[in-house]
Every structure is written in structure tokens, then in C-alpha cells.
Amino acid sequence: MKKIIAGICLVMAATNVSAKDANDPLTAQAELGFLMSSGNSESRSINGKLSAEYNLEKWKYKGAIDGLSAASADPDEPGSEMETSAQRYGFNLQADRKLQNDHSLFVKGSYDDDRFSGFDYETSASLGYGHQVIKSARRNFRVEVGPGFRISQPEVGEREDEAVIATSFLFDQRIGDTSKFSQILDIDAGDERTISTSVTSLSAQIVGQLAMKLSFTMKHNSDPAIDEDTSIEKESLDKETSINLVYSF
């Protein structure tokens, strides 16, 4: 807990740093969220994300790493110890080769390790075509589509290798001078399984380069894995709501 508070203080102190050069090709964001409850129920959770983008004349590179950890105690057993109830981490990387008229070619890859998903890990890679449908100071809309490959290792059963069609829709809209709405939809469709991930977020500037972000994430798996302990099929839809401090640098 002390480390979390210290980290937040460091982020807030960093807002005293001078504004970032608008012409700098490298931009980055650090996010941190923490929640603890006590009394009738005992629980705690922490999530974080670090993302960066390097934008050149002909190329753009971006990547992100994120993680979540949560623990809770059984409310029917007062004084019971908290047990891990959620734990995952992942990262993704992408390179775009810019073409004329806001067209581009991309290659990207991702890795996810979710302890409670029924999979030991899931990784995918794809390449294809992207187009910036809308590009303005206040509104952006981008579409990406291309073939790819996904590898999934379930806790129960053999490794699954599958060709997929990867499609992404990315939209953001400025609201006033200090707020932004964002919607991202990723769909990896294969013959055996289709995984769809939707991330909806609203961010508002607090002071300087520090902002607050509310986000809602849904991940749907058309063919969920089998739970190793209960031999029961996992839920097909996972939902996550978070409120984070975001520092841009």
C-alpha cells in the first residue's frame, strides 16, 4: 500500500515538469489504478498500463504492457485470508508503414496470460492494411484488417493453433478542451473461436499532464476454455471497469 501511494505521489509531482515538445516523435503514457475495501467485505485490486508510440515520417511504432491483480476474502467467513481472484498481464506491439492518403500496412503481435481464463497463455500475430477514415484535430477513426495466426494453450487439452482474420476499429472524439472519448474494438475471427475485445473509455485532464480515466472493457470468447479444477466451461464474457490516473510524457 505504501508503495502504491508513493507511486501516485511521484506521478503527481511529475506534473510540475515543463510541457512536452509537440514535435517530439516519442510519446508515452503511464496508468495506475488501486482499490481497497474493508469492513463487511475485504478486497483489493491494482491495475496498471504503460504504453508508448514512436511516430516518424514513414513509420509508426507503438506498444503497451498492462497488468491486473485482485484479491478478496470470503464474506461468509469473517477473518478469512484474502485469496487471489484475478491476475493477468499482457503486452502488444505494432509497426505501421505509412503510405499515401492515410493508407498504411501493419504488422502486430500480442501475448496474454490470464490466470483465471482457463488458458495458460494466448498469443497472436497478424499483418494487413489500415486506413485512417477520419483524421482531424478533434475526431479520428481508423480501420485495420488482415490475416493472422493465433496460438492458445488451454489448461485442459492440447495446444490450439488457428488462422484468423484480425479486424480493429479505433475511434476517439475530443470533448471540449480537456476531455476525450475513445472506443476500440478488436475482433480475431477463426474457424474454431472468435475473440472480441471492446474498450470504451472517457478521460479528463486534471492538471498539466495528469488525467483521470474511466474505462469499461468487455472480452467475449465464442468457445471458452474448461476450468482445470471444476471441469466446467468458463464464462464466455469477461467485464472489467477501472478508474485510473494517467500521466502523459
Terminal Cα-to-Cα distance of the chain (whole angstroms): 25
What residue has cell string 511504432?
Answer: 61
Residue 228, classified by CB atoms within 10 Å of its CB into exposed (0-12), middle (13-18) or buried (19+), is exposed
Task: Check residues 32 and 1 and name the one with the higher pLDDT.
Answer: 32
| 43 vs 238, residue with greater confidence | 238
The confidence score (pLDDT) of residue 234 equals: 86
3-class DSSP state for residue 4? Answer: helix
154-182 pLDDT, tens digit per residue, is 988 889 999 999 999 999 999 999 999 99
Question: What confidence tier does 76 reach under pLDDT thresholds 50, 70, 90?
Answer: low
pTM of the model: 0.85
Residue-level pLDDT at 43: 79
* Lookup result for grid cell 502486430: 108
Q: What is the C-alpha separation between 228 and 90, in angstroms, rounded?
A: 21
Pairwise CA distance, residues 187 & 115, whole Å = 22
- Radius of gyration from C-alpha coordinates of the chain: 20
Residue 133, phi-psi category: left (phi > 0), alpha (psi -120 to 50), beta (remainder): alpha
Domain count, the chain: 1
Higher-pLDDT residue of 226 and 161 is: 161
- Domain enclosing residue 234, as ranges: 2-248
Q: What span, in angstroms and rounded, lies between the C-alpha atoms of 47 and 70?
A: 9
Q: Is the predicted pLDDT of residue 17 greater than 60, yes or no?
A: no
We report the CATH number of the domain holding residue 215 as: 2.40.160.40
pLDDT, residue 14, reads: 45
Reduce the DSSP state of residue 1 to 3 states and report it: coil
